[in-house]
Chains A and B, each alone.
Chain A
């Protein structure tokens, strides 16, 4: 990148020494732009740093070592001479001059390979599978690729479409994350044809192809033998996969360009498969109720009459479908990414190093379980749920999500450290010496407030949707929980939090990645696509923000577990009232 900011810039440019990044066992050179944060420059080099506080300079997840070069850190100029290093947060650092050398420690880099749960199950799965070999009359050895395109993660499964056997599975982060985090920001990013093409390239060539090649290698098959590809994802992801503009989904009335997607050849997308392979997608119901939900509906049997059955897919957007008899309604609610560990001081995704479960009683002796055999580096959604539910039970946390400071202090877990948690107070979970980051892991009151908003969005969404049917959460006879997140949570704790209705736990069933299941079933059986196409006209969409009572339901659901305690009869409720507000 040519630049006039540095006297010897041309020389440096010739040497391709714009910005040098050392990582664990790798060195890369990349370009940088004035005013661009180091996290963004890293993303261009294909390195995703841990920005779980969304780049606000709070979590310390993107700590890096600045080597020789000129920088601006927190708005102040910094020059580091040869042989010296200084620690800084990448999200608060800008490069000022060519030739800077930065080292990213392993703990600050997000693993490219996401550990996401791609398992699925349903009592209906057996019924959904074709009785014998596939009705596509595929040749022996013919392969298919089932793909779940999530906003955050993409999961692929290589299938022998002659026998129906699942040969290999793999998953990784959707590489579009390099450009924008959530659905709305992807829509905003994809303003022009060029940017849509870039997003399409990132999900096809940079995400799906590596997955296909990994699956093929694991199964010792030739990816050229893939003759069918079936993708299932939310409406925005499906649009971007085919290079369609998602712009209209971003504004009222949120109408997508297409709801059904004409099949294309793999070669037109440049996918790793037989050039003639047909690529199809599960159709979408609406802008915010996509093919992933159509897959969930098909897997759980909600497309057939059933009694008071609710399906919830918890993600950044919580989508919900309810069916009672012939009436089917659906809605989407903006839960935000708190359950994915995002935006919390020490939150993280459910990957190696994540604390996934926490158990404790009034003694606050914490029993923690970490994914992988490693030191903990953060808390994922299931652990946050455990923490708040247990905290509520033992009086550490009150109904408004505030700590009992006396209990915190008595246990030695009281933390008030501006650098760690801003003005918020926090509960220490793992001390610095036992954590895998260069500091302690804690949960702040601000974090709990984020979770309250997320769980209230889900509970208020389902309450409002049921209300339009003249029903309450207590009337629900069966609940299916879809999405990888639900597979790892303690259902009891999720109910104690007020995330899900307090009904007998045996009415709940966890189906896992219904989106991948839908793609898998669609690959095997030619009758499935027509069934999908019938499903998209089934639900009536409830626009929650248009229902006057939604806001009040949301506010009622902000308390732990709920302002109306009678809705949560099984949940222990501390008698101590919230005294801190009025003091």
Chain B
């Protein structure tokens, strides 16, 4: 299936109503939803992400596009699961214990989904146990988010907990988090923003 321009552009512009309608139309007409995802929806998110990296779009526009993308995914995700569609890899993402902020985390989750990953969103205020549970459900990478300098130190506890664990990588990010901090606590990767998180994750998996 070639790219469906109307859906591609509706995602880029953040028009979630059009995205939902058009994706539903594909489903109703028995269109190939795997191709819809791979040829239209993922490229749209990638386009937004690349523009973000070039400072051609900013966070507000990214959030709006991500919400439109989610409107489309809400329709096809259950169908993909039923079809037994295999995503690139399973990753889990959550805001660490003590922190409630999730708008940035949700945007990263969306970008990861938009890059074709199977994302297990653990929500906010996640203790080590929650990440452990995600690993038992097959997550190979744990993405940790924090918005506050006061909650950021919990990342180290999670990293320490999984230290030396085969097949579990940890990627961290969030407003106060720096590359230096990631190195200091021994995290496997660091994403400076939502699009960089995709790059960091792909890099992690390539070297895994």
Contacts and interface: CB of A to CB of B under 8 A. Distances in A.
A329 to B, nearest CB: 17
B99 A582 contact: no
A87 interface: no
B29 interface: no
A contact face: mostly helix, strand, loop, or mixed: helix
B60 A251 contact: no
B150 A545 contact: no
A582 B64 contact: no
B58 A251 contact: no
A184 B99 CA distance: 12
Interface stretch (B34-42, B101-109, B111-119, B195-203): B101-109
B87 to A, nearest CB: 24
Contacts of A580: 56
**B55, B97, B106, B151 interface centre (most CB from chain A within 10 Å):** B55
A449 B124 contact: no
Contact of B60 (A250, A422, A453, A582): A453
**Interface size for chain A: under 10, 10 to 19, 20 to 34, or 35 or more residues?**
20 to 34
Given A424-B55, A555-B64, A188 B102 contact: no
A91 to B, nearest CB: 15
B67 interface: yes
Contact of A401 (B60, B99, B147): B60
**A185, A423, A580, A582 interface centre (most CB from chain B within 10 Å):** A582
A464 to B, nearest CB: 13
B57 A545 contact: no
B150 A187 contact: yes
A564 to B, nearest CB: 12
Contact of B149 (A184, A400, A446, A552): A184
Interface in A219-273: 247, 250-252
A543 B101 CA distance: 11
Contact of B64 (A187, A543, A558): A558
A551 B110 CA distance: 14
B125 interface: yes
A456 interface: yes
A287 B57 CA distance: 35
Given A185-B149, A545-B100, A558-B64, A581 B106 contact: no
A431 B104 CA distance: 36
B149 A554 contact: no
B148 A184 contact: yes
A551 B103 contact: yes
**Interface size for chain B: under 10, 10 to 19, 20 to 34, or 35 or more residues?**
20 to 34
A208 B29 CA distance: 72
A184 B13 contact: no
A462 B61 CA distance: 22
Contacts of B103: 551, 554
A423 B55 contact: yes
Contact of B125 (A188, A247, A252): A252
A446 B55 contact: yes
A194 interface: no
Interface string B119-152: 0000011000000000000000000000111110
B149 A252 contact: no
B9 A582 contact: yes
A251 B149 contact: no
B165 interface: no
Contact of B57 (A188, A247, A250, A581): A581
Interface string A440-463: 000001100100110010000000
A400 B61 contact: yes
A23 interface: no
A251 B99 contact: yes
Contact of A545 (B12, B14, B124): B124
A506 interface: no
Contact of A453 (B56, B59, B149): B59
Interface in A381-431: 400-401, 422-424
Contact of B101 (A185, A424, A545): A545
Contacts of B43: none
A252 B56 CA distance: 36
Nearest to B96: A251
Contacts of B55: 422-424, 446
Given A251-B150, A251-B151, A581-B13, A446 B64 contact: no
A581 B12 contact: yes
B63 interface: yes
A462 B102 CA distance: 18
B179 to A, nearest CB: 14
A551 B148 CA distance: 18
A544 B149 CA distance: 19
A446 B13 contact: no
A582 B100 contact: no
A578 interface: yes
Contacts of A578: 13
30 contacts: A184-B149, A188-B149, A188-B150, A250-B151, A251-B151, A252-B98, A334-B147, A400-B61, A400-B64, A423-B55, A445-B58, A446-B55, A446-B58, A453-B60, A545-B100, A545-B124, A546-B100, A551-B102, A551-B103, A551-B106, A552-B67, A555-B67, A558-B63, A558-B64, A559-B60, A580-B56, A581-B14, A581-B51, A581-B61, A582-B13
6 closest pairs, A vs B, by CB?
Answer: A250-B150, A251-B98, A449-B58, A423-B55, A545-B100, A558-B60
Interface of A: 184-185, 187-188, 247, 250-252, 334, 400-401, 422-424, 445-446, 449, 452-453, 456, 543, 545-546, 551-552, 554-555, 558-559, 578, 580-582
